[in-house]
């Protein structure tokens, strides 16, 4: 497995039959990833799915001792989803409390360039809830994107609704598919993300075209 070479998987695999520790580590990793640290969320989710897959196939991955519990796919999906929403909400709240100042703080610039911050802020103003949905599927943009949502005073219930919907598509799905089908599904998940971006791009294009047509009619 290619995932077997990832440090995140290697770390979690040490505790494959200590699920409580795995779940706690995943919560920490999700929070760290949400705040821009180099712990890719996708790698964590797929690693969690692989551990759950191992737990369903004791014939291929026998536990070191009889009777040990393995990672449960249902528990893993629920915990990972909750951790993601908690992380996103905390970042949103930081943006709402500190406003635009936090977007351009010196320490923030060490994580994200000013150009990226400007682009994220512009996209949030221009696309609103569509941008919130897109941030969840865009590594490297989630952190400044969710900060921008809070800084721009987007209503929390709207942010939570859209972000939760996007997280439901990406988080439990990856864990369940990998836990059920194992390695063959990993490449499929990458292709699915490409399809989501294409669909999102189409929606945005149609939206902008309709706004352009309406504005043109108003001018005439």
- List, for residues 165-182, the tens digit of each pLDDT value: 999 988 998 899 888 887
Percent of the chain whose pLDDT exceeds 70: 75
Average pLDDT of the segment spanning 59-82: 89
Across all residues in the chain, what is the average pLDDT?
80
What pTM does this model have?
0.78
Three state DSSP letters for the chain: CHHHHCHHHHHHHCCCCCHHHHHHHHHHHHHHHHCCCCCCHHHHHHHHHHHHHHHHCCCCCCCCCCCCCCCCHHHHHHHHHHHHHHHHHHHHHHHHHHCHHHHCCHHHHHHCCHHHHHHHHHHHHHHCHHHHHHHHCCCCCHHHHHHHHHHCCCCHHHHHHHHHHHHHHHHHHHHHHHHHHCCHHHHHHHHHHHHHHHHHHHHHHHHHHHHHHHHHHHHC
pLDDT for the residue 74: 94
If pLDDT is split at 50, 70 and 90, which confidence band does 217 have?
A: low
- List, for residues 139-153, the tens digit of each pLDDT value: 778 888 888 888 888
pLDDT for the residue 197: 47
């Amino acid at each position: 497995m290619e995932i077997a070479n990832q440090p995140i998987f290697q770390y979690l695999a040490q505790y494959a039959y200590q699920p409580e520790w795995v779940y706690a580590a995943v919560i920490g990793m999700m929070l760290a990833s949400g705040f821009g640290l180099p712990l890719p969320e996708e790698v964590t989710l797929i690693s969690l799915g692989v551990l759950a897959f191992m737990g369903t196939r004791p014939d291929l991955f026998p536990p070191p001792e009889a009777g040990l519990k393995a990672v449960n796919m249902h528990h893993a999906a629920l915990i990972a989803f909750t951790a993601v929403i908690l992380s996103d909400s905390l970042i949103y709240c930081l943006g709402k409390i500190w406003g635009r100042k936090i977007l351009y703080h010196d320490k923030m610039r060490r994580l994200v360039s000013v150009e990226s911050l400007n682009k994220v802020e512009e996209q949030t103003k221009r696309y609103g809830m569509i941008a919130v949905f897109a941030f969840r599927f865009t590594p490297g943009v989630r952190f400044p994107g969710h900060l921008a949502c809070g800084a721009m005073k987007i209503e929390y219930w709207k942010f939570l609704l859209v972000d939760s919907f996007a997280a439901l598509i990406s988080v439990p799905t990856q864990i369940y598919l990998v836990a059920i089908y194992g390695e063959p599904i990993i490449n499929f998940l990458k292709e699915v993300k490409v399809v989501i971006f294409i669909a999102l791009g189409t929606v945005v294009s149609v939206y902008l075209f309709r706004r352009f047509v309406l504005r043109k009619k108003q001018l005439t």
